[in-house]
């Protein structure tokens, strides 16, 4: 995200123009620690006022973009030639108020959906958090990626890695009680002030009730979450498939039902990638981070790259003592320096608002 100030406008306001190269849409903004969510009707932020700050949603970066009429009218230096063609962007208008901003411009951040990526499994192009598809896109990208020709990438291994990433893994049940059902906007409002959302978009959930479920939902059937509003009041929609959830295609709710409805998370995708790629970063570092998101590796054989996600692969050959090149060497004891009995690490998730977090150490009592 390239955040730059366009300067004051007639001493009344300042504009912050943010270029979001490759971004397809923003899902929410943050002003200091205050969350500004999407309005229910559209799914984009448009002229949303927060104290003395107004947020505008710009185009999605298509090559047919024209110069923004508001920017042209408000800034003499911004002309119809400033189309930002091919670059998604947003701009923020701040009322001139030195008392409110004594330390300079405020800290504003955004939750964004990234570039559309090609899925070789069905030749569709869509937004996806699948690390194999994002890596495949980065490898082929000629602007900020490696620019590797498709002929030099083993697409079959990409498909296998993408399938492994999209496998749903059972998790410990997490529940939210539904406080309100909005049939006009197909939304469930979840119960609890100060509630922390336990779901993220794409999670597999089931819906149960003490009475009658809203139409057309069926008890103990697989549905997939679309997070609409992350903070209180938390709001979600449900989709019939994982791809529909990623696309934001929600189920049309026709009745509110009766009784107490409960959403229970049952599973989540094995691997997802959530982060930001700077265009000026060393591509090898970007590739390493994308691979880490799926515990994977890239192998170059001849002039062809093969992609692998972490997962069991059935052996195709048997190795026995006939394959040994020399006698066996046995180590009867390892030093403390090379022994370990715990695993810990960090992760980035929408559940933590994109902040780097640590997960609890996993230990084995047998080796303590």
Q: Provide the token pair at 292.
A: 């880490």
Nearest-angstrom CA–CA distance, 353 and 27: 12
Residue 246 is assigned to a structural domain of this protein: yes
Distance CA 39, CA 47 (A): 10
Within a domain: 307? no
Is position 95 within any domain? yes
pLDDT at 159: 98
**Would 152 be classed as within a structural domain?**
no
Going residue by residue through the chain (368 aa), what tens digit of pLDDT does each one get? 333 444 444 555 666 666 665 555 555 554 444 455 554 433 344 444 444 444 444 555 555 567 878 778 877 788 888 887 766 676 776 666 667 667 776 666 667 777 889 999 999 999 999 999 999 999 999 888 899 999 999 999 999 999 999 999 999 999 999 999 999 999 999 986 567 888 999 999 999 999 999 999 999 899 999 998 887 788 999 999 999 999 999 999 999 999 999 999 999 999 999 888 887 889 999 999 999 999 999 999 999 999 999 999 888 999 888 888 888 888 887 777 777 778 888 877 767 766 788 888 888 777 66
**In terms of domains, do 252 and 342 share one?**
no
Report how far apart, in Å, the C-alpha atoms of 173 and of each of 29, 191, 203, 214, 269 are.
30, 17, 12, 22, 15
Query: Does residue 361 lie in a domain region?
Result: yes
For residues 107 and 18, state if they share a domain.
yes
Same domain, 264 and 173: yes
Domain that holds residue 26: 2-113
Cβ-based burial of 354 (10 A; exposed 0-12, middle 13-18, buried ≥19): middle
Domain membership of residue 274 (yes or no) is no
Domain for residue 261, yes or no?
yes
Give the count of domains, the chain. Answer: 3
Boundary-marking domain end, from 47, 82, 113: 113
Domain assignment present for 291: no
**Global pTM value:** 0.79
Distances (CA, A) of 170 to 47, 197, 312, 334, 340: 41, 18, 17, 36, 27
Domain co-membership, 8 together with 102: yes
Nearest to 236 by CA among 175, 190, 191: 190
Q: Do 12 and 93 belong to one domain?
A: yes
In the prediction, which pLDDT does 301 show? 96
Helix (H) or strand (E) holding 168: strand 168-182
Based on the domain organization, do 9 and 81 belong to the same domain?
A: yes
Give pLDDT, residue 355: 76
| Residue 306: predicted pLDDT | 98
pLDDT at 37: 52
Same domain, 14 and 106: yes
């Amino acid at each position: 995200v390239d955040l730059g100030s366009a300067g004051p406008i007639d001493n009344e306001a300042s504009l912050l123009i943010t270029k979001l190269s490759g971004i397809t849409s923003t899902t929410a903004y943050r002003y200091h620690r205050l969350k500004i969510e999407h309005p229910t009707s559209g799914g984009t932020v448009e002229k949303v006022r927060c104290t003395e700050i107004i947020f505008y949603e710009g185009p999605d970066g298509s090559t047919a973009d024209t110069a923004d009429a508001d920017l042209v009218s408000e800034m003499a230096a911004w002309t119809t030639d400033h189309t930002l063609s091919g670059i998604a962007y947003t701009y923020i208008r701040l009322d001139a108020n030195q008392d409110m901003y004594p330390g300079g411009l405020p800290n504003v951040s955004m939750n964004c959906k990234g570039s559309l990526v090609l899925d070789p499994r069905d030749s569709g192009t869509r937004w996806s958090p699948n690390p194999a598809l994002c890596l495949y896109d980065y490898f082929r990208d000629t602007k900020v990626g490696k620019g590797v020709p498709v002929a030099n990438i083993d697409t079959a291994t990409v498909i296998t890695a993408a399938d492994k990433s999209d496998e749903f893994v059972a998790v410990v049940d997490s529940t939210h009680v539904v406080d309100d059902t909005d049939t006009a906007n197909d939304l469930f409002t979840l119960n609890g002030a100060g509630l922390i959302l336990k779901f993220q978009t794409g999670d597999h959930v089931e819906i149960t009730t003490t009475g009658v479920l809203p139409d057309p939902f069926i008890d103990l059937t697989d549905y997939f979450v679309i997070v609409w509003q992350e903070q209180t009041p938390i709001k979600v929609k449900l989709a019939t498939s994982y791809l529909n959830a990623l696309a934001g295609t929600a189920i049309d709710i026709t009745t509110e039902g009766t009784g107490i409805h409960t959403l229970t998370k049952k599973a989540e995708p094995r691997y997802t990638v959530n982060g930001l790629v700077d265009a000026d970063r060393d591509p090898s570092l970007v590739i390493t981070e994308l691979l880490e998101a799926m515990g994977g590796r890239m192998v170059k054989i001849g002039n062809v790259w093969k992609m692998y996600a972490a997962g069991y692969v059935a052996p195709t050959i048997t190795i026995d003592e006939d394959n040994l090149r020399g006698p066996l060497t046995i180590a009867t004891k390892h030093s403390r320096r090379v022994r370990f009995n715990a695993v810990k690490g960090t992760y980035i998730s929408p559940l933590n608002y994109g902040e780097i977090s640590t997960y609890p150490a996993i230990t084995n009592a047998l080796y303590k």
